[in-house]
Amino acid sequence: MAHKKGAGSSRNGRESHSKRLGIKIFGGQVAIAGNIIVRQRGTRHNPGLNVGIGRDHTLFALIDGQVVFKKKADNRSYVSVLPYETADVAVETAPVVNVQLEAAEVAAPTNGKAKKAAATPAVEEEAPKAETATEGEEVVAE
């Protein structure tokens, strides 16, 4: 009698590859449109605002923004992507500096007499104002 079992296939095949499921982008992190947020089997997490769902229940971002996880009253987890808030940039102009030139004495070689050069008045120039453009517009310099 053989003291070893034959090379049957019923005891083989237990080593399956891991499926790498789980949350890929956590709450508060930035997602780019098309990024996978959650890989899952079934809908452990449901798609919320600006999130799409694939045929294998993968949740992905539809727009660029920040990922937010929420549990609603139905005790389900919802994943949303909130768009970046375009904060208004404070436009500050540079302070105007008044430069005054002092009168200088210049000797004229032809007359031999000293003449005073007229003091040039200070000219105030305004700093150019910065122009902002919204998405899709161009800033045109005048």
- Name the CA dihedral angle for 43, 44, 48, 53, rounded to a multiple of 10 degrees: -40
Given this model, what pLDDT does residue 116 score?
53
Tokens 């600006």 map to which residue? 50
Q: Where are the domains of the chain?
A: 22-83
Please determine, looking at this structure, whether the domain spanning 22-83 carries the CATH number 3.30.565.10.
no
Chain segment 45-86, per-residue pLDDT in tens: 999 999 999 999 999 999 999 999 999 999 999 999 999 874
Expressed in percent and rounded to 5, the helix, strand and coil fractions of the chain are 0, 25, 75
**Of residues 41 and 107, more confidently modeled:** 41
Given this model, what pLDDT does residue 10 score?
72
**Distances in Å between the alpha carbon of 90 and those of 39, 96, 129, 132?**
41, 18, 12, 10
